[in-house]
Amino acid sequence: MPVTDFKLEEKYKYQTGFNCHHESEAVEGALPIGANNPQKCPYGLYNEKLSGTAFTAPRWENQQTWLYRILPASAHAPFEPKETETFDTNPGIHGKERWHQIPNQLRWDPFDLDETVDWVHSLRLVAGAGDPTMKTGLGIFIFAAGKDMDPHHAFYSADGDLLIVVQHGALDIQTELGKLLVRPNEICVIPRGIRHRVTLPDGPVRGYILELYQNHFTLPELGPIGSHCLANPRDFQSPVASFDEDTEHEYTLLAKFSGHLFAAKQQHTPFDVVAWHGNYYPYKYDLGRFATIGSISHDHPDPSIFTVLTAQSDHPGTAVADFVIFPPRWLVQEDTFRPPWYHRNTMSEFMGLIGGQYDAKTGGGFQPAGASLHNVMSAHGPDASTHEKASNAELKPAKVGEGSMAFMFESALMVGVTEWGLKKCAKVQHDYNAESWEPLKPHFQRPTPAKIVNGTSNGVKVMQVLQKPDKPGPDYFRSTRYSGPLPVSIPPSPQRRTFYKCLSYQAVAVITYVANDHGHITPVYDGDTITCIGRHKSEMSIIYQSKSSQISTSQKICKLANIGVIPSQMLVDFWGIWVIHFALNVSGGAFVYMTAIRAEEV
């Protein structure tokens, strides 16, 4: 069934739909009819507007909710800084922490559980980019907690929307708008500013958070997919109104503001919203309901087909953050390497594993509660063992990812790593490259006979064979000029040489080598000299020579080439014919236009 079989039974009721205008009242009649802020609200409630976007944002992205509560949210004492030496989740100019901007591929062992802290103090920033004070970028956190929040505490982040991925345990989240139960294989989004309290009904918890500093999450466009599939709107669940009534006890309101922690006191519960209506609210989603699509012919599609939620930048199609999953799915492609291909990406990819084994990393290093980061243009892909298995697997229909759920936070931004993420957590796998990609072996084999056309082999670019022009000149030859190193062939001892008799050959080349008296060639610049070898081995002439060239140099080259027999080390088989090398035991360069020789063994 397309629903996760949860160990912990659901205990709350929800409204369904994504970005819908919902309304809910815990007391019948608490919502005013036909008005948002009447002179007097029903039952003596205060009305309050919660704005998730600017008032004048386009209607399709405008997010606002009206709250009807016992006391307004503003009824508290001033905020004071709290834990300034230890709580800093905004590296850069606003705190003492700094980003480590590095291109290395990174992978972390499973992060430890910590039973000594509550939800607020479990948040550990691992990576991120941008600045919440400018409402740009994102932060990537690990959380690991073992204690309920204090019954008289509430928390909110002014920095961004919290996308929460539970890996272990369960979160019972009381928000101003109602309650949600979030278990492994579910995600939850708590929008910016919404106050909440977290308790742990199933013991210690651990998981991942993407905090979105700009915009809000939306569903990806489906394009030619049509009107449904991927994450369907009806499968998102939002809370119904639920409130506490307490104006006698002191409460502490904790705020994450510019990455720092602040606290304020108030004499009433923050969870006193009796009714609400609007489209700015927390919600959750069961990843087991994701309707996966894929290729049913050949090739491995881009992983964007697994996008659950996206937050677009100002450039459509380019995301500040995508939330992508790799759920259980069938693979049926023919003649296809089925795991993800090797890849360098203009996007940054942070991956985590909720449970099971990710099908592109079967070597054992990528474990549940661990993570990896492949930053902008950092090369990555299947590890060596996965490549070997997939390259030789029988391509019959196969289901992968059974009992597994991997995910990815992807961003167009270059992601920095914190000091905690790189060093203090002590979870970075320093042998990641050695275990994953360094064991890869070359499998390239030259075709026999070679059939390389307009390609490159050992640094020699094979040009189209040219006929001798009637009136050669510099413009003609330079139009197809190639500069690059020729292969180095060290001649064996004379008694081991195989000699060939030249039957006919012609060559048009600009040579940048000089022969010494021992027959070795030293690379020099020869001023665009063009030497033509005729159809008889004794016939050679200089058909074009620029003013800057040295005739003595060209004569030396002619003398070297004008030999009756050619050592086999000067020949290499291209196109099924013999091509001469003007390099014996040194590396250098030549401008080669056409060389072709027919030869037979003496």
Annotated catalytic residues are 300, 343, 349, 374, 380
In degrees, to the nearest 5, what angle opens at C-alpha 573 toward C-alphas 572 and 577? 120
- Write a three-state SS string for 111-162: CCCCCCCCCHHHCEEEEEEEEHHHCEEEEEEEEEECCCCCCCEEEEECCCEE
Q: What is the DSSP letter of 197?
A: E
Lookup: tokens for 491: 């001649």
Please choose, from the candidates 13, 4, 296, 255, the residue with its C-alpha nearest in 3D space to the C-alpha of residue 154. Answer: 255
Residue with tokens 């390239």: 444
> Within 13 A of 96's CA, how many CA atoms are on the CB side?
6
- Cα separation of the two ends of the chain: 77
CA distance 602 to 597: 15
Do the beta carbons of residue 223 and residue 229 sit within 8 Å?
A: no
CA distance 29 to 18: 25
- Write a three-state SS string for 77-117: CCCEEECCCCCCCCCCCCCCCCCECCCCCEEECCCCCCCCC
Residue with tokens 């082999």: 457
Lookup: tokens for 475: 């413009």
